[in-house]
Amino acid sequence: MSKKPAILLIYTGGTIGMVKDFSTGALKAFNFDQLLERIPELNLLDCTIATYSFETPIDSSDMHPEHWVSMVNIIESNYDTYDGFVILHGSDTMSYSASALSFMLQNLQKPVIFTGSQLPIGDLRTDAKENLITAIQVATFQKNSVPLIQEVCLYFEYKLYRGNRTTKVSAELFNAFTSPNELHLAESGVHFKINESLLLKHRPEEKCRVYKNMDTRVMILKLFPGINQEIFESILNIASLKGLVLETYGSGNAPTEKWFLACLKKAMDQGLKVVNVTQCSGGSVNMGQYETSTEMKEIGVISGKDITTEAAITKLMYLLGQQVPSNEFKDLFEQSICGEMT
């Protein structure tokens, strides 16, 4: 008889782990030791579940790269013991964390599935149970005794997405996430449909590579009509700033005003890495398609192609953290590391 898959459930915080205290009506953090008692349905899953909780669970608005390192450490030290990992996380910054972990845990041979919920697990109408139960189930899927999912994913409201392709789009709907430039990897209905051709596959002989240095000297700047020269210049002149995600218009367009390009060029000459991503919710940067992006291409602005802002900022942190040689940085950024861009 084959062994049941073993899943490690890691609770970092967020709405999903809240229950109502019936005496006061207030929401409080869920005691993870009582997980199976609270959600007896989990006993029906054909796997074993162990739990690990952050000592102080956080609202994901307080998420920080140090927490990403904690998650990576937990996965790294338990990598050989478990067949899959499910991370319960607040939905607000879940796409950032899923993107970050995809760069920090490369060549994964096991699933790391992020999930959370819009309503607490103790709420009558909660979306937490379905998200949690199916995320665990997804983490147990195997083919020829090998985990089927070998990457960082995000499961929410019946869909499994590549984590570094997602973005949170609704603060209200259960259907809170989307993956604008990549199809979802699987969908849960009466049957669970997996689009296997989209899944990342890794060579078993190569080990999982773990990276823990994330350089936070980065910034996201969204362009808007009327952007002020003095303010733009002072941001780009910040001496410690190493990387900038510039959210431009449409297919990567920006003002053609002389001061704007001169300021970008000066900062880049001094070593700033600038990544062009579109502020549209779908589509790709294509510098040179319009006059308004040609000069950015000429001065060496990095094309973020169809990457999300969440993946762009975490990829910048990761590449800067690896101290990649300056002359290789643009090429490395413009290549996909783990499916984050087409």
- Give the residue numbers marked as catalytic: 15
Backbone angles phi, psi at 76, to 5 degrees: -60, -45
At its nearest, how many Å lie between ligand ASP and the CB of residue 115?
A: 10
Token pair for residue 195?
């689009």
120 binds ligand ASP (CB under 6 A): no
Query: How deeply is 136 buried, as exposed, middle or buried, from its count of CB atoms within 10 A (0-12, 13-18, 19+)?
Result: buried
At its nearest, how many Å lie between ligand ASP and the CB of residue 68?
A: 15
Nearer to ligand ASP, 53 or 118 (CB): 118
340 binds ligand ASP (CB under 6 A): no
At its nearest, how many Å lie between ligand ASP and the CB of residue 95?
A: 11
Question: What kind and span of H or E run contains 329?
Answer: helix 326-334
At its nearest, how many Å lie between ligand ASP and the CB of residue 315?
A: 22
Interior/surface letters 284-302, b for 16+ CB within 10 angstroms, e for the rest: bbbbeeeebbebbbeeebb
CA distance linking residue 90 with residue 88, whole number of Å = 7
Residue with tokens 């919920």: 117
Q: E strands along the chain, which residues?
A: 6-11, 18-20, 27-29, 48-53, 84-88, 105-106, 112-115, 142-143, 146-147, 152-156, 159-162, 167-168, 177-178, 186-188, 192-194, 209-210, 218-222, 243-248, 273-278, 302-303
Point out which span in 10-18, 32-40, 207-215, 329-337 binds ligand ASP (CB under 6 A): 10-18
57 binds ligand ASP (CB under 6 A): no
- Residue number with the smallest Cβ distance to ligand ASP: 90
Query: What are the percentages of helix, strand and coil residues in the chain, rounded to 5?
Result: 35, 20, 45
Token pair for residue 270?
């001094």
At its nearest, how many Å lie between ligand ASP and the CB of residue 65?
A: 16
Give the number of residues in contact with ligand ASP, rule: CB under 6 A. Answer: 11
252 binds ligand ASP (CB under 6 A): no
Site string for ligand ASP, 75-94 (x = CB under 6 A): ---------------xxx--
Among 41, 59, 298, 328, binds ligand ASP (CB under 6 A): 59
Token pair for residue 133?
């139960």
116 binds ligand ASP (CB under 6 A): yes
Name 277's bridge partners. 247
157 binds ligand ASP (CB under 6 A): no
Point out which span in 8-16, 38-46, 181-189, 330-338 binds ligand ASP (CB under 6 A): 8-16
14 binds ligand ASP (CB under 6 A): yes
Q: Indicate the pairing of strand 159-162 with strand 243-248.
A: unpaired
5 binds ligand ASP (CB under 6 A): no
Nearer to ligand ASP, 15 or 99 (CB): 15
Nearer to ligand ASP, 14 or 243 (CB): 14
Binding site for ligand ASP (CB under 6 A): 13-15, 59-61, 90-92, 116, 118
